[in-house]
Structure 1
Amino acid sequence: MIPPVANRFVAGEGPAGALEHVRQLNGRDVKAIVNLLGEHYDDREDVDADAREYRELVEDIARSDLEATISVKPTQIGLDLGESVFRENLEEIVETAADRGVFVWIDMEDHTTTDATLDAYEELARAYGGGERSAETRSSSDRWADGGVGVCVQANLKRTRRDVERLADVPGKVRFVKGAYDEPSEIAYTDGEAVNREYEALLEFAFEQFEDGIAVGSHDPAMIERAIELHEEHGTDFEIQMLMGVRNDAQFELAEEYEVYQYVPYGARWKSYFYRRAMERKENLRFALRAVLGR
């Protein structure tokens, strides 16, 4: 059972708790990206079990009529066992989701997974990204309601500008984040100011060149404000994505005017995820300490 101290960041150990959290979010005009916690599996049974749970989660979302997508980590569904295992499981998840009208995000992990992740995304987005209705006949609010595929890119990687140029005409959605992995300096920007400059430059390019929507995955008020300015300048559809438990009040406030998604993790492997969230920001750590100390 997840202790109360972790409930701020993790929506339970099973899908029922996660979907109830989504229902509460939807009541406040915030949508959800549901993620089953897990990564770097080296056992095929674990891989296939999580892939099966994702397919079942898609069915649950479709039946419940919730405003929710799912997000999958490549090493969770087989990339460490081989690219063919990853592709097989991912395609089955995306095919199930496309049939049920549920959008699928492919998370990005460390730099060793980037090529395999982007290759899989591009192939599946071209196969499943468009849906039956064209972009012209869909409103921004239901643009992704008939399925589709998205991927995450990380501003701290020096290769990302080239990757984003490649993805500009792919019929899917791209989530822009600063990057949370400790990457070597020869391939990544390690200075915070440099990462911020790169993130802003990527947003500027995307709002000018992308036609299928942009996801701004950031808690940084300056970057969110810049995205809003670019949206007003170019008219490009975008959404704001934040983590469960981080700047919740800001999420609800932004949702009054913009499309906001909360990343909602759940599952038995919650301890390591909670530890990362608690250590990321002083505010999170203070929250955890107050809860433990009963203050």
Structure 2
Amino acid sequence: MIPPIANRFVAGESPATVLEHVRRLDDRNVRAIVNLLGEHYDDRADVRADAATYRTLIEDIARANLEACLSVKPTQLGLDLGEDVFREELEGLVEAAVEHGVFVWVDMEDHTTTDATLDAFESLADEYGDDENPRLGVCVQANLKRTREDVERLADVPGKVRFVKGAYDEPTDVAYQDSTRVNEEYRRLLEYAFEHFDGGIAVGSHDPAMIDYAISLHEEYGTEFELQMLMGVREDAQEALAREYPVYQYVPFGDRWSSYFYRRVTERKENLWFALRAIVGR
């Protein structure tokens, strides 16, 4: 059982609990991005088990007509076992999702996975989607020095792109270390996307300044976008923003919740404060 300190950030351990959370979000006009926690598998059986859970979720989401999509990690789908394994598992999921009308996001992990992730995304986005009906999305991280070139490459791909600042502890030769510089890069990436993309921009940030900047770019260029935030962080703001803009909440679940929770409360001091408030009930 997930303790109270963690259940602010994780929607239970079972598919049933996460689907109930998604239904509650639907009532608040907030959409869901569902992620089964798991990563860096070195056993194909673990990969297949998670892929099977995702397929069941796809069917459940479609049957219940919920406003929800999925998000998967490359190493959860076998990237550590080889790019061929990852491609095979991801394509199987995308095929099932397209059949049931469910969108799939591919999370971005540390910089060693970037090429394989983008290659798979580009190939499958071209195969299963089009400009009018994208079926796949991918995440890019502003702290990586390569990301501007990656975003330029993705501008014409018929998929969605999620922009985040980056949460992994990357080496200095590949990533900006200063938060001010990362913020500058994030703004530049948003500027490029709103000017050059036809749509499909996802702003993954809790930073009010970045959200306001994205809204101003939307008003300037008319480019469609959505906002994405984590479960348990600024949920009042999520509900308020959802009155005017598409808002998605990233909703993790599963029995591998401890490492995810630790990452959430250590990457931002505000998240630690949220967790402490959960203990004292304030």
TM-score computed with the length of structure 2 as normaliser: 0.97
Q: 1:206 aligns with which of 180, 190, 193?
A: 193
Q: 2:210 aligns with which of 191, 203, 223?
A: 223
Q: 1:152 aligns with which of 130, 139, 145?
A: 139
- Contact persistence 2:105–2:137 (CA under 8 A): yes
- Contact persistence 1:121–1:151 (CA under 8 A): yes
Are residue 176 (structure 1) and residue 163 (structure 2) matched? yes
One-letter identity of the residue aligned with 2:67: E
User: Please, what is the CA RMSD of the aligned residues?
Assistant: 1.3
Q: Percent identity?
A: 74
Cα separation, 1, equivalents of 2:80 and 2:280 = 40
Query: 1:125-164 maps to which residues of 2 (within 5 A)?
Result: 125-130=125-130, 135=132, 148-164=135-151
CA shift digits 1:64-110 (9 cap, x unpaired): 10000000000001000000000000000000000000000000000
One-letter identity of the residue aligned with 1:199: Y
Secondary structure of 1:70's aligned partner: strand
Query: 1:6-21 maps to which residues of 2 (within 5 A)?
Result: 6-21=6-21
One-letter identity of the residue aligned with 2:54: Y
Cα separation, 1, equivalents of 2:75 and 2:68 = 22
Are residue 29 (structure 1) and residue 16 (structure 2) matched? no
- Contact persistence 2:4–2:279 (CA under 8 A): no
Aligned residue for 2:89?
89
Deviation at residue 278 of structure 1 after TM alignment: 1.9
- Contact persistence 2:8–2:275 (CA under 8 A): no
Aligned length: 282
- Contact persistence 1:33–1:264 (CA under 8 A): yes
Cα separation, 2, equivalents of 1:220 and 1:69 = 23
TM-score computed with the length of structure 1 as normaliser: 0.93
Gap regions ≥5 residues in structure 2? none
One-letter identity of the residue aligned with 1:2: I
Aligned residue for 2:102?
102
Cα separation, 2, equivalents of 1:106 and 1:164 = 15
Aligned residue for 1:138?
none
One-letter identity of the residue aligned with 2:147: T
Aligned residue for 1:242?
229
Q: 269-278 or 23-32: which moved more?
A: 269-278
One-letter identity of the residue aligned with 1:114: T
Q: 208-217 or 234-243: which moved more?
A: 208-217
Gap regions ≥5 residues in structure 1? 136-143
Deviation at residue 247 of structure 1 after TM alignment: 0.6
Aligned residue for 2:250?
263
